Amino acid sequence: MIEAPNGLEDMMRPNPRVIEGRTALARRALAVAAGLWLAACHPDPAAAQIGAKPPAQETLDIGDEPGRISTEEAVISDGPYARQVVFFRSSEAPGTLVIHTSERFVYLVQGNNRALRYGIGVGREGFQWSGLVRVSRKAEWPDWRPPPEMIARQPYLPRFMAGGPGNPMGARALYLGSTVFRIHGTNQPETIGHAISSGCFRLANGDIIDLFDRVPLNTKVVVRHGASL
């Protein structure tokens, strides 16, 4: 048996301080690597916006986010777009719906110069319209079938989506005459008050449920559009 010279055995024995230092260094290296991986896989949205360039390919329009979940009871409870009774002078009969696209409101005429007012999202530039129609159909949690015109503009959209909380049509829909336009709910209540749709009028789900229960079939709908100041 060959014995180590005096003192050599102590030199060969692992030094606890050296091991601890190497372990800490390895841990720091792993932490840095993990941080780089998280940054690559889960970038910070705020940081990504700084100096970011628009994507080369077309992305989903803000008006169309199929699959995004919103709750049935989503209601705008304060601010100008909250549901409220307001002074409204009109020659239209009680029960008529009057939509002012430039104001972002739909009014349910009550009579005595009063109306129940709801905040809405309206068609974006180039998709706004005016006219006189009637409610031709009502549906709860309607299915979504994007019309051919929308598919032509956004071919990546699904051709059909069953009704539900993730459906862009929201909780209820009032179909307007023989047009492709509707007054409906949304899975994006934060877009109320904006011009973001392809011509439809959207309300927060809690508000469209309230309006749906108040409006019968064949209700007269007046759509007015004026230039924004």
Asked if residue 19 belongs to a domain, the reply is no
Q: Which of 41, 194, 200, 225 is catalytic?
A: 200
Asked if residue 75 belongs to a domain, the reply is no
Asked if residue 220 belongs to a domain, the reply is yes
Q: Which domain holds residue 162?
A: 84-224
Determine what percent of the chain is predicted with pLDDT higher than 70.
66
What's the confidence (pLDDT) of residue 42? 38
Which residue did the predictor score with more confidence, 7 or 141? 141
Contacts (Cβ under 8 Å, ≥6 apart) of 64 = 146, 150, 154, 157, 168, 198
Question: Cβ(122)–Cβ(104) under 8 Å?
Answer: yes
Q: Which of 41, 42, 100, 184 is catalytic?
A: 184
Decide the pairing of beta strands 122-123 and 195-197: parallel
Residue 120 sits in a domain of what CATH number? 2.40.440.10
Asked if residue 201 belongs to a domain, the reply is yes
Asked if residue 109 belongs to a domain, the reply is yes
Say how many C-beta atoms besides its own lie within 10 A of residue 200's C-beta. Answer: 22
Asked if residue 175 belongs to a domain, the reply is yes
Asked if residue 3 belongs to a domain, the reply is no
pLDDT band at residue 36 using 50, 70 and 90 as cut-offs: very low
Active-site residue 41, yes or no?
A: no
Domain count, the chain: 1
pLDDT band at residue 95 using 50, 70 and 90 as cut-offs: very high
Active-site residue 184, yes or no?
A: yes
Phi-psi region for residue 94, left (φ > 0), alpha (ψ -120 to 50) or beta? Answer: beta
